[in-house]
C-alpha cells in the first residue's frame, strides 16, 4: 500500500469516514465520505489532523501533541468542518504499519444523538401526560364522591320517612345504585393513586382476629342469603396483634370475598389464614379464599390481574365491574412484600391464594422490615391446608339434579325466591334464579322448560307469570321421570 492511500480503494465508497495521517499530523488520504461530510472536497489531503479534531490534537513544530488513546476502542469525538461548524462522531484511531501512519475511522452520530434526544423528549412528554391523566382522574373521581354521597344521604333520609311500600322499593334501589357507584369510584381512585405512585403504606398495630371478624360480618349475610355456606379459619399460630396496613388488608379480603360471592351460586365460600414463615419480628401470613363458583378456564386466568380486563364480555354484562379490583389487589399485596395467584376450574370453583409480610405485634415493636429471605412451610404442608378446606364431592352432589343434596338445596332456594317475588324484589329473585338454573342443568325437558318460563317472568318482573311458572315447576319436579317422558311424547 502506498502512502497516498491507493491501497485503500475498497473503502473509498464506504459510508464510514476514513482518514490516514502521518507522524507529523498531515492527512495523506481521505475517502469520499470524509471529503463530503467535512466539506473539504479534494482539498482535505494536506491539511493537519488538528484542523479536524482540534480538541484532541494540537499542532507542534515536530508534528502534533495528543492525549488521545490510540487503539481499537471507539470514543466519542467532535469533528470540525471546513467552515468551522462541528458534529459528533464515534471514532477509532490506530497505527497502521503498512502505510506508516495513523488510520482514523469515524461515523457521524449527529442523527443518532438527535434521535436519542427526540426519544427522551417523547418519553418525558408521555410521562407527564400520564401523570396529568392520573391526577385528573383522581381529582374527578374524588369530586364525584360529593354528589353521590349527597344523593345517598337524602335517599336514606327519605326512605326512613316514606310509608308507601312501592316508593320505598324505588328508594332502596337508588340507594343500592349509589353504593355501586361509590365502589366503582373508589376502585378508579385507588387505581389512579397507584398509577401515580401516591399510595403509601399506613402501618400500625391492630388486633388481627377482630379485623377478620369485621370482614366476616361484612360478608356473612350476603353469602348466607344466597344459600351458601361460609367458613372462616384462623391458625392459632398467628399472634393476637400484628403490625401492618389494616385498611389495605381489609380491602384485599373484601374484594376477593365479594368476587367469590358474586360468582358462586351453589356450595360454599371459605377463608383460611395460616402463618407460613417468621424472620425475627416479621411474619408471613398466607390467605386462601376459595369458592365453588363458576370458575375460570386455564387460558383466561392470566387476564384476571390485568387492569380493565374481564375474562369475557358476558361477565361484565352479567355481573358488572370495571376489571380493576384484582389489579388493585395484586398491587396492594406486592406493596406488602407478597404475591398472589389463582387456581380455578370451569364450573368447579376458584382458589385465590396470597401472602403478605406483617410485624409481630405481640412483641410490642411497631417497626418491622420485609425480609430478603423466606423460610416458609413446605409446599406440601400448604397444599394439605388447602385440600382440607373443601369437600368437593359434596358440592358436586349438589349440582347433580335429583340427588337428595340437590333437591334439598333447590327447595330452599325456591322458597327464598317465592319470598322475593312476593316482595317484588326482582333483583334478588334473579340471583336465586341463577342458582336454580345451575341446580337444574341436568333436569328433564319438562323441568327445563318450566325453568326457562320462570326465568323470563322474573327478568320481566311479571308477578302473575312468575307465580304460575313456579307452580308449574313444582308440579313437574314432583313427577317421576317416566311421567315426564310420557308427557313429552304426547
In the chain, where the domains are located = 6-108, 113-195, 204-390, 400-489
Nearest Cα to Cα of residue 179 among 162, 161, 158, 156: 156
Q: Which residues contact 238 (CB under 8 A, 6 or more apart)?
A: 208, 273, 274, 275, 283, 285
Q: What is the pTM of this model?
A: 0.57
C-alpha distances (whole Å) from 382 to each of 21, 52, 257, 376 are: 74, 71, 20, 9
Pick the CATH number of 400-489 from 1.20.120.290, 3.40.50.720, 3.40.50.150, 3.40.470.10: 1.20.120.290
> How far is the C-alpha of 203 from the C-alpha of 359, rounded, in Å?
9
Three-state secondary-structure class, residue 78 = strand
pLDDT-derived band at 257 (thresholds 50, 70, 90) equals very high
C-alpha grid cell, residue 397: 352432589
Mean of pLDDT values over 143-148: 75
Number of residues assigned to the chain: 490
Q: Name the strand (E) or helix (H) holding 476.
A: helix 463-478
**DSSP letter, residue 47:** S
Angle CA 349–354–356, to nearest 5: 160
Three-state secondary-structure class, residue 277 = strand
> How far is the C-alpha of 260 from the C-alpha of 255, rounded, in Å?
9
Radius of gyration of the chain (CA): 37
**DSSP letter, residue 298:** G
Mean of pLDDT values over 47-57: 93
Instruction: Evaluate whether 362 touches 278 at the Cβ level (below 8 Å).
Output: no
| Residue 255 confidence (pLDDT) above 70 | yes
| Residue 135 confidence (pLDDT) above 80 | no
Instruction: Evaluate whether 211 touches 287 at the Cβ level (below 8 Å).
Output: no
Predicted pLDDT of residue 461: 85
pLDDT-derived band at 34 (thresholds 50, 70, 90) equals very high
CATH number of the structural domain 204-390: 3.30.565.10
Predicted pLDDT of residue 487: 43
- The residue that leads in pLDDT, 383 or 428, is 428
CATH superfamily entry for domain 6-108: PAS domain (3.30.450.20)
> How far is the C-alpha of 90 from the C-alpha of 88, rounded, in Å?
7
Give 280-329 pLDDT, tens digit per residue: 888 999 999 998 888 887 777 777 776 545 555 444 444 445 456 787 88
C-alpha grid cell, residue 89: 462522531
Beta carbons within 10 angstroms of residue 482's beta carbon: 8
Domain 113-195 fold is: Helix Hairpins (1.10.287)
Q: Which residues contact 128 (CB under 8 A, 6 or more apart)?
A: none
Predicted pLDDT of residue 198: 62
> How far is the C-alpha of 143 from the C-alpha of 140, rounded, in Å?
5
Average pLDDT over the chain, rounded to an integer: 80
Q: Which residues lie across from 358 on neighbouring strands?
A: 283
Nearest Cα to Cα of residue 424 among 166, 162, 159: 166
Give 177-225 pLDDT, tens digit per residue: 787 777 777 767 776 666 666 667 788 889 999 999 989 988 888 888 8
Amino acid at each position: 500500500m502506498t502512502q497516498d492511500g491507493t491501497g485503500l480503494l475498497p473503502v473509498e465508497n464506504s459510508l464510514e469516514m476514513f482518514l490516514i495521517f502521518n507522524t507529523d499530523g498531515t492527512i495523506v488520504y481521505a475517502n469520499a465520505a470524509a471529503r463530503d461530510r467535512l466539506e473539504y472536497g479534494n482539498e482535505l489531503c494536506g491539511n493537519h489532523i488538528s484542523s479536524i479534531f482540534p480538541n484532541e490534537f494540537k499542532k507542534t513544530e515536530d508534528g502534533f501533541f495528543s492525549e488521545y488513546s490510540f487503539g481499537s476502542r471507539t470514543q466519542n469525538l467532535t469533528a470540525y468542518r471546513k467552515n468551522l461548524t462541528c458534529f459528533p462522531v464515534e471514532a477509532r484511531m490506530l497505527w497502521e504499519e503498512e502505510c506508516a501512519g495513523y488510520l482514523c475511522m469515524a461515523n457521524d452520530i449527529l442523527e443518532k444523538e438527535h434521535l436519542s434526544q427526540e426519544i427522551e423528549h417523547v418519553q418525558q412528554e408521555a410521562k407527564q401526560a400520564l401523570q396529568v391523566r392520573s391526577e385528573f382522574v383522581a381529582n374527578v373521581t374524588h369530586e364525584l364522591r360529593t354528589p353521590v354521597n349527597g344523593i345517598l344521604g337524602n335517599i336514606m333520609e327519605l326512605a326512613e320517612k316514606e310509608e308507601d311500600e312501592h316508593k320505598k322499593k324505588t328508594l332502596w334501589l337508588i340507594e343500592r345504585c349509589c353504593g355501586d357507584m361509590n365502589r366503582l369510584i373508589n376502585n378508579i381512585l385507588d387505581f389512579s393513586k397507584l398509577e401515580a405512585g401516591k399510595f403509601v403504606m399506613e402501618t400500625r398495630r391492630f388486633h388481627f382476629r377482630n379485623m377478620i371478624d369485621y370482614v366476616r360480618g361484612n360478608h356473612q349475610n350476603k353469602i348466607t342469603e344466597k344459600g351458601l355456606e361460609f367458613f372462616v379459619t384462623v391458625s392459632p399460630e398467628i399472634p393476637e396483634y400484628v403490625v401492618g396496613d389494616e385498611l389495605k388488608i381489609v380491602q384485599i379480603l373484601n374484594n376477593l370475598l365479594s368476587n367469590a360471592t358474586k360468582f358462586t351460586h351453589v356450595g360454599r365460600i371459605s377463608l383460611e389464614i395460616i402463618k407460613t414463615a417468621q424472620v425475627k419480628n416479621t411474619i408471613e401470613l398466607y390467605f386462601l379464599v376459595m369458592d365453588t363458583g363458576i370458575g375460570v378456564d386455564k387460558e383466561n386466568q392470566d387476564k384476571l390481574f390485568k387492569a380493565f380486563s374481564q375474562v369475557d364480555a358476558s361477565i361484565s354484562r352479567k355481573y358488572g365491574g370495571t376489571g380493576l379490583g384484582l389489579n388493585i389487589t395484586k398491587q396492594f399485596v406486592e406493596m406488602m412484600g407478597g404475591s398472589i395467584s389463582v387456581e380455578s376450574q370451569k364450573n368447579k370453583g376458584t382458589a385465590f391464594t396470597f401472602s403478605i409480610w406483617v410485624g409481630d405485634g405481640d412483641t410490642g415493636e411497631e417497626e418491622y422490615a420485609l425480609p430478603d429471605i423466606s423460610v416458609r412451610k413446605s409446599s406440601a404442608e400448604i397444599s394439605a391446608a388447602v385440600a382440607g378446606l373443601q369437600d368437593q364431592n359434596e358440592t358436586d352432589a349438589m349440582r347433580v339434579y335429583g340427588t337428595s343434596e340437590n333437591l334439598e338445596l333447590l327447595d330452599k332456594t325456591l322458597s327464598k325466591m317465592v319470598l322475593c317475588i312476593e316482595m317484588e324484589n326482582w333483583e334478588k329473585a334473579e340471583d336465586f334464579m341463577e342458582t336454580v338454573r345451575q341446580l337444574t342443568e341436568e333436569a328433564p325437558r319438562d323441568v327445563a322448560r318450566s325453568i326457562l318460563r320462570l326465568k323470563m317472568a322474573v327478568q320481566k318482573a311479571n308477578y302473575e307469570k312468575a307465580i304460575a311458572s313456579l307452580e308449574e315447576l313444582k308440579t313437574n319436579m314432583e313427577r317421576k321421570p317416566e311421567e315426564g317422558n310420557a308427557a313429552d311424547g304426547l
